[in-house]
């Protein structure tokens, strides 16, 4: 693994590829949905993705945007759709205009304000919604959903032949469920957990936990718009997630130290559900 290739993390059919370290670099791709959460400084593993979902404008999450747009143009890829908190739209447009002036070249791209709760299409059965987060600058998180066909409850006891027969007669046997697969918080205080209800029941919650021990207090974390592990722990039993993946952990902690702290602090029945997004030692 290298910074340019990203780390891979998987759970069932969900695959994530990326890198995250507080204040340095955060960008995670979900290849199946053709989406990337944040772009960091612009890295090779993001290049084939068409949908860019920016959580906020801090440089370790968003400074690579002009570079990614430029690289995609150079490789002849389709111009990306870039979603961001509405307040970020004017400065980001301005920044692109400045880069276009610097390079004496105009680029193709589509910028969109991500309205909270509205569904935006991704590849195939996937779509996403933005949800509120709480940081020092305008910010949102994103959930990727999958549309799934499911047999309606009342037909579940029927034999296969009966179902075939009903289908042949034009009966609508399926529900269309919207399953929240992956929620990605970007940088946020713990309050994002009080917002959109689907975040708490996402199969996978990828959340920032910048500080994890007593060297930094909860107040320190809050002041900088971040979450402390000790704020997440009392909220775990409100969550219906299969996995919680921790990102944006401060570089002050080695991964070994993070493991020790989790071993010590996470309640027994949550230990197998909380994972660290792969990071360098």
> Largest Cα–Cα distance in the chain?
67
Are the C-beta atoms of 208 and 186 separated by less than 8 Å? yes
Instruction: Using the minimum distance from each CB to Zn ion, give the nearer residue, 137 or 177.
Output: 137
Nearest distance, CB of residue 134 and Zn ion, angstroms:
11
The residue among 135 and 200 lying less far from Zn ion, judged by its C-beta, is 135
Q: Are 194 and 216 in contact (CB under 8 A)?
A: no
The smaller minimum CB distance to Zn ion, of residues 58 and 200, is found at 58
DSSP characters over 122-147: -STTEEEEEEE---SSS-EEEEEEEE
Nearer to Zn ion, 203 or 210 (CB): 210
Least distance from Zn ion to the Cβ atom of residue 60, Å? 5
Q: How far is the CB of 167 from Zn ion (least distance, A)?
A: 50
Q: How far is the CB of 242 from Zn ion (least distance, A)?
A: 25
- Nearest one of 56, 54, 55, 58 to 69, comparing CA atoms: 54
Minimum distance, C-beta of residue 94 to Zn ion, in the bound complex (Å): 20
- The residues of the shown chain that bind Zn ion, judged by CB under 5 A, are 58, 60, 187
Looking at the Cβ atoms of 60 and 230, the one nearer to Zn ion is: 60
Q: How many residues does the chain have?
A: 281
C-alpha closest to that of 11 among 279, 278, 253:
278
- C-beta of residue 229 within 8 angstroms of C-beta of residue 266: no
């Amino acid at each position: 693994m290298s910074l340019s290739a990203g780390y891979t993390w998987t759970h069932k059919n969900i695959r994530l590829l990326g890198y995250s370290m507080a204040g340095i670099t955060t960008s995670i791709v979900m290849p199946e949905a053709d989406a990337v959460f944040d772009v960091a400084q612009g890295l090779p593993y993001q290049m084939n993705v068409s949908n860019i979902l920016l959580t906020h404008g801090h440089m370790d999450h968003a400074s690579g945007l002009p570079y990614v747009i430029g690289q995609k143009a150079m490789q002849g890829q389709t111009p990306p759709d870039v979603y961001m908190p509405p307040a970020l739209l004017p400065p980001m447009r301005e920044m692109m205009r400045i880069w276009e002036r610097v390079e004496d070249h105009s680029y193709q791209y589509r910028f969109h304000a991500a309205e909270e709760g509205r569904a935006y299409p991704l590849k195939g059965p996937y779509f996403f919604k933005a949800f509120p987060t709480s940081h020092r600058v305008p910010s949102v998180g994103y959930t990727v959903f999958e549309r799934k066909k499911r047999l309606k409850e009342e037909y579940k006891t029927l034999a296969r032949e009966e179902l075939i027969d009903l289908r042949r007669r034009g009966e609508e046997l399926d529900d269309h469920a919207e399953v929240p697969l992956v929620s990605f918080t970007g940088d946020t205080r713990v309050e994002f957990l009080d917002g959109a209800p689907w975040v708490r029941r996402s199969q996978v919650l990828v959340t920032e936990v910048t500080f994890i021990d007593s060297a930094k207090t909860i107040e320190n974390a809050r002041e900088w718009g971040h979450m402390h592990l000790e704020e997440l722990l009392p909220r775990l039993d409100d969550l219906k997630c299969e996995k919680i993946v921790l990102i944006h952990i401060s570089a002050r902690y080695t991964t070994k130290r993070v493991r020790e702290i989790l071993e010590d602090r996470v309640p027994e029945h949550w230990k197998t559900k909380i994972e660290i997004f792969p990071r360098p030692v």
